[in-house]
Amino acid sequence: MDALLPPPKQIDIIPIATYLANLKTQKTSWIGGRITVLPQDRSYTQTGCADCLKPLEADLTWIVQCPTCKKECEVQLILRVAVQIDDGTSAIKTMLTSPIIEKFLTMTSTQIRNAEEVGENIQAIADRELNGQTIVAFARAYETTYQRQPETRIFLINGHRTKGESSHTQLIIDSKKRKAIETTCLQKTTQTETDMKTPTKKQKSEVTTKTT
């Protein structure tokens, strides 16, 4: 996965406000920001195909014929934690899952499942392990329906941990500049109505000028 999507160049990362404003025309983009763990009702662990990582109801010792990738494969633990990613312009809610989440954890997925099985507070563990870390991630939006209402969900196809001091944290934009970006996004949204083929590069460079 990493070989297909190496860490992006700074120019490829767009402000989350821009990403959200342009979702109708651009479903995917690199975004980045600070992680906050959200409250979660569902289990933090599940089992999945070791090859394609699609969830499977199976025991970890089984070898299964995966209905998704059709391969005969082992079963592995998959972690999933509901998070918010905020870059100062806006925030998205998404799931941080295996294999991306492991890059951010000091605990292994097995340790987390064992802790969950003995009734430890996984929310507290997830807070401690993940809160405040910064990520750059390749996001993809899907239209779906939830309780008969149209809903947009955002999934992370890939993600990389960034250090606080790295240049990526420049994308954590301070609130003074936030308004300027929001204004730019509004203009962009209006433009996309009339000009669907506006190159994304142009949008990026304009936003970059405002944020530097």
The least distance separating Zn ion from the CB of residue 30, rounded to whole angstroms, comes to 26
CB 32 within 8 A of CB 137: yes
The least distance separating Zn ion from the CB of residue 103, rounded to whole angstroms, comes to 21
Nearest-angstrom CA–CA distance, 171 and 43: 32
Give yes or no for residue 98 binding Zn ion (CB under 5 A).
Answer: no
Give yes or no for residue 157 binding Zn ion (CB under 5 A).
Answer: no
Stretch of 21-29, 66-74, 152-160, 167-175 contacting Zn ion, by CB under 5 A: 66-74
The least distance separating Zn ion from the CB of residue 54, rounded to whole angstroms, comes to 5
The least distance separating Zn ion from the CB of residue 68, rounded to whole angstroms, comes to 5
The least distance separating Zn ion from the CB of residue 57, rounded to whole angstroms, comes to 13
- Residue 47 corresponds to which tokens in the numbers above? 């089992």
The least distance separating Zn ion from the CB of residue 204, rounded to whole angstroms, comes to 35
C-alpha distances out from residue 66 to 39, 56, 62, 83, Å: 31, 8, 11, 28
CB 138 within 8 A of CB 27: no
Is 70 or 179 the residue whose CB approaches Zn ion more closely?
Answer: 70
Binding residue (CB under 5 A) for Zn ion from 68, 169, 189, 200: 68
Is 26 or 68 the residue whose CB approaches Zn ion more closely?
Answer: 68
* DSSP single-letter state for residue 38: P
Nearest-angstrom CA–CA distance, 171 and 47: 35
Nearest-angstrom CA–CA distance, 73 and 51: 6
Beta strands 91-97 and 72-86 are antiparallel
Give yes or no for residue 58 binding Zn ion (CB under 5 A).
Answer: no
Binding residue (CB under 5 A) for Zn ion from 13, 20, 66, 135: 66
Radius of gyration of the chain (CA): 19
Stretch of 11-19, 44-52, 99-107, 109-117 contacting Zn ion, by CB under 5 A: 44-52
CA dihedral (39, 42, 47, 51) positive or negative: negative
Stretch of 42-50, 128-136, 161-169, 170-178 contacting Zn ion, by CB under 5 A: 42-50
Residues that bind Zn ion (CB under 5 A): 49, 51-52, 66, 68-69
